[in-house]
Amino acid sequence: MGELRVRVTQDSASRWRRRSGEYATLREALEVAEPGDTLTVRAGTFHEAVLVDKPVTLVAAQGPGSVRIAPPESAVRGGTALTVTAGATIRGLTVEGSDRSAPAVLLSGTDGAVLADCRIETSSAVGVELADGARAQLVNCTVENPSGLGVRLRAQAHAELVDCEVSAAGQSGVAVLSGSRLHAERLKVHHTGGAGVLLADPGSLAELTGCEVYEVRGSGVQAEAQAVGRLTDCTVRRVSGNGLSLDTGAELELTSCRVHEVPENAADLRGGAKLTLRQVTVHGFGRGALSVWDGGTKVLAEGCRFHSAQGDYPALWVSDGAALELADCALDDLPDALFVLDQGSSAAARDCSFTAIRSSAVSVSGGASADLSGCRIQGAGTGLWFRDHGSGGLLTDCEIADVATGVIVTKGADPVLRECTVRGASEAGVYVSAQGRGEFDAVRVSQGGGFGFHVIDGCRTKLVRCRAERNARAGFEFSEPGPVAEGCTSDDAAPLPAPRPAEPAAPPLASLVPAVQTSASAPAAAVIAPIPDCRPAEEALAELDSLVGLATVKQEVRTLIDLISVGRARQRAGLKAPSPRRHLVFTGSPGTGKTTVARLYGEILASLGVLQRGHLVEVARLDLVGEHIGSTAIRTAAAFDKARGGVLFIDEAYALAPEDGGRDFGREAIDTLVKLMEDHRDEVVIIVAGYTAEMERFLAANPGLSSRFSRTVTFPDYTADELLDIARSQAAEHEYHLDPAAEAALHAHFTTLDRGAGFGNGRTARQVFESMIERHASRVAHLTDPTTEDLQLLVPADLPS
């Protein structure tokens, strides 16, 4: 009799059997075991093929790795070392197989077999196979099969893999086929000879969470024939093929995943496949980040980052009628960012950034289209290039900065740009040639090293309300008739000549404007008016000077204006220009004129061409701080966007940094403002206002604030004389006047006012005046026949008691 090596313990409900028994082989033990029994296996190697057809538990007595099933090749039943047809649990066993035409482990039961802490070390067709309709769970298992597949799910099988590892597979690591379903958590697939994870056939679904695929000779994840995969917090890296390959209607959805160190494409899609990426990072790719082909093929990427390309190919390639949609994505350190080719191909990007692009950020050709909204391109050879006939798109509220050429339109391309800005192009801001067209509406080009808008070859480009300023060669250059300009302005256009009084009728305004600087005469429609398109700076400065008091404030503002004016003159002369800090801190008590001065400051900057509009947007903490995480950044960005081209005035800004703020969302508003000030430094002037001591605390709330607000303007309280002057101006504005006695009484009233926390300065003077005209009305209403003087004269009796 052989050594007794398998102990069967009765865990079943039967009362008629002996409690336990010991057997020499697994086969003998399994034959006598009943459902629910536990088979405890002593350490050693069992040279037998094992069939588990009852819901029992097999467990290695000395733990994982102590028991090995290794049948001789002649003894293998159907080539399979371990077959499980029931809802059994196998724990801690190592399985060897050697038939290259059969799986080492076959799970065919529908009751949910469990393999836990097992190792499959085999040279078989498949390491672990789930037969048609089978259900099983693998927990903390390792599969090594250099001769074939690691794990295969056949038709309608359902498998759960938790903390498992598939390594050294000769073919794909995990194959989900024929409508089967896989749920995997923390699965590692590596060193395989084919795709790390293969999905195929309609109805097939794989859900992977926290998984890794690396060091595979093929694609990391390959999906085809309408299979579906969902990956969350997964990593695909160091594969020899594409990171992700999709074909023939397959769908993949990745959330918070990483794809990197891929010599080919991070993702390659064809045949109507669909890929959704959310919060995914892609970098270190040799060919492209996304390569999207064929009609019906679509990619949606939200909150993703594509960076650090290793090759010389465009990062995002869309062709043959495919479609790409990007939202809140970042693309940086790339040779080319986005190429859209062929009729029917399209790309849409919203709130995306393109940074450090060595050649073209966006290229559109072959009749394709690209729509961009709220995007920022900074640091590129060419911002956007629309190359040929039928190519175009719509760009709205986009910024292009620090590029060689901002926008190129050639060979019949016809894009539309609205409310976009091009800043700091070393050559042309906008360049149109070779029958290119294009419509540019409210586009601003500034600080360029060449022409702002350069249109040659008689291209019929339309420019509406465009603005050019501080461009080294000229704002607008039209070499031949063809372009149409309506309501456009430039800082190098000559002022309009006054009409001659003797002429019976003035000619149309457009004919009085000098033509754009051209090498041939431009058509009458292509005329450019001078900047500013608002009232001159002198008028706004005159209004500032007319304000009561504020002598030091007026001097500070004039100093800033002088710095800007002289800087622009130096720039035109080819000299270095100082870069004064335009963002300001206004400190002082309420009612000292801070809002009024901010409004005038914006107007002056607009008249000098520093700001596009110069309008004032006034906000407080309530307008910027939301009720939950994330909403504050949205509100703050919305207020900033509303102020683009003008002044964002934040009253009582210290409320964003309360002394006991802790996790207060006001800090999020401050951090968002600092980033926006950096990203859009020339678009908005920010003025923060509040009490002096509290504003010092505000500036200390973020390290970037004090460097951006380097100039503080202090608004002193009004004296009694100045308050009396304010009351006099209010009276004159409303057609009242004060008699001498009333002025004396009013001065005495202002002298004795309590100047505590509730003192409103100019607001107090206006409130006192309003009280006076109310009391005046009550008094005059009782007069029988009041004269005009009675209706206008304010006397001491009209002062509030």
pTM value is 0.71
pLDDT of residue 509: 33
Calculate the alpha carbon distances from 88 to 62, 69, 127, 135, 697 in Å.
Answer: 20, 17, 18, 11, 68
Cα atoms found within 13 Å of the Cα of residue 669, Cβ hemisphere only: 30
pLDDT of residue 528: 84
* pLDDT given at position 384: 98
Say what the pLDDT of residue 592 is.
82
* Residue 493 in tokens: 């256009």
Phi first, then psi: give them for residue 251, nearest 5 degrees.
-135, 135
- The confidence band for 33, taking pLDDT boundaries of 50, 70 and 90, is very high
pLDDT at 416: 97
* Of 67-76, 396-405, 422-431, 532-541, minimum mean pLDDT range: 532-541
Strands 126-130 and 174-176: unpaired
Say whether pLDDT at 74 is over 70.
no
Residue 357 and residue 337 in contact, taking contact as beta carbons nearer than 8 Å: yes
How far apart are alpha carbons 653 and 25 in whole angstroms? 81
Please tell me the predicted confidence (pLDDT) of residue 117.
98
pLDDT digits (tens, 9 = 90+) for 312-353: 999 999 999 999 999 999 999 999 999 999 999 999 999 999
In sequence order, what E strands does 155-304 have? 158-162, 165-167, 174-176, 181-185, 188-190, 197-200, 205-209, 212-216, 221-224, 228-232, 235-239, 244-246, 251-255, 258-262, 267-269, 274-278, 281-285, 290-292, 298-302
Structure tokens at 470: 């501080």
Mean predicted confidence (pLDDT) in 584-608: 85
Stretch 675-681: mean pLDDT, rounded?
A: 81
pLDDT value, residue 756 = 67
* Predicted confidence (pLDDT) at residue 66 exceeds the cutoff of 90: yes
Residue 1: what pLDDT?
Answer: 39
Residue 732 in this model has a pLDDT that exceeds 90: no
| CB crowding 566-597: b at 16 or more within 10 Å, else e | ebbeeeeeeeebeebebbbbbbbbbbbbbbeb
Residue 544: the pLDDT is: 82
pLDDT in tens, 411-460: 999 999 999 999 999 999 999 999 999 999 999 999 899 999 999 999 99
Bridge partners of 649? 618, 687
> So what's the pLDDT on residue 523?
42
Q: What average pLDDT is seen over the chain?
A: 88
Residue range 510-566, pLDDT digits in tens: 333 333 444 333 444 567 877 655 667 777 788 888 888 878 878 877 887 788 777
- Name the H helices within 392-468: none
User: Tokens 């538990």 sit at which residue?
Assistant: 57
Mean pLDDT of 478-494: 88
d(CA 40, CA 23): 10
Name all contacts of 426-431 with Cβ < 8 Å and 24+ positions apart. 426/450, 428/452, 428/453, 428/454, 429/405, 429/453, 429/454, 429/468, 429/471, 430/406, 430/454, 430/455, 431/405, 431/406, 431/407, 431/455
Read off the pLDDT of each residue in 768-791 and give the average, rounded to a whole number. Answer: 87
Mean pLDDT across 75-100: 88
Measured CA to CA, the distance from residue 10 to residue 5 in angstroms comes to 16
Does residue 623 contact residue 660 with C-beta atoms inside 8 Å?
no
Comparing 136-150, 193-207, 257-271, 739-753, which segment has the lowest mean pLDDT?
Answer: 739-753
Q: Quick check: 18 pLDDT over 60?
A: no
Mean pLDDT of 404-412: 97
Which position has the higher pLDDT, 44 or 550?
Answer: 44
Mean pLDDT for 204-210 is 98
Q: 61 near 39, Cβ under 8 Å? A: no
Q: What is the pLDDT of residue 458?
A: 93
Pick from 18-22, 244-248, 319-323, 720-724: least confident: 18-22
Q: What is the pLDDT of residues 89-120, one digit of tens each?
A: 999 999 999 888 999 999 999 999 999 999 99
Closest CA to 516 of 525, 508, 507: 525
Of residues 758 and 72, the one with the higher pLDDT is 72
CB 712 within 8 A of CB 687: no
- Answer yes or no: are the C-beta atoms of 618 and 647 closer than 8 Å: no
Residue 798: pLDDT above 90?
no
Do 199 and 221 touch, CB atoms closer than 8 A?
Answer: yes
Each residue of 756-766: b (16+ CB within 10 Å) or e? Answer: eeeebbbebbb
Cα–Cα distances in angstroms (integers) from residue 703 to residues 249, 659, 670, 697, 699, in the given order: 51, 17, 10, 12, 8
Burial class (CB in 10 A: 0-12, 13-18, 19+), 282: buried
pLDDT in tens, 607-666: 777 787 788 899 888 888 887 777 888 889 889 988 888 899 998 888 888 776 555 677
- Of 156-165, 450-459, 595-604, the range with the lowest mean pLDDT is 595-604
Share of the chain above pLDDT 70, in %: 90
| Cα-only R_g, the chain | 39
In angstroms, the CA 607 to CA 310 distance is: 47
**pLDDT at residue 511, rounded to an integer:** 32
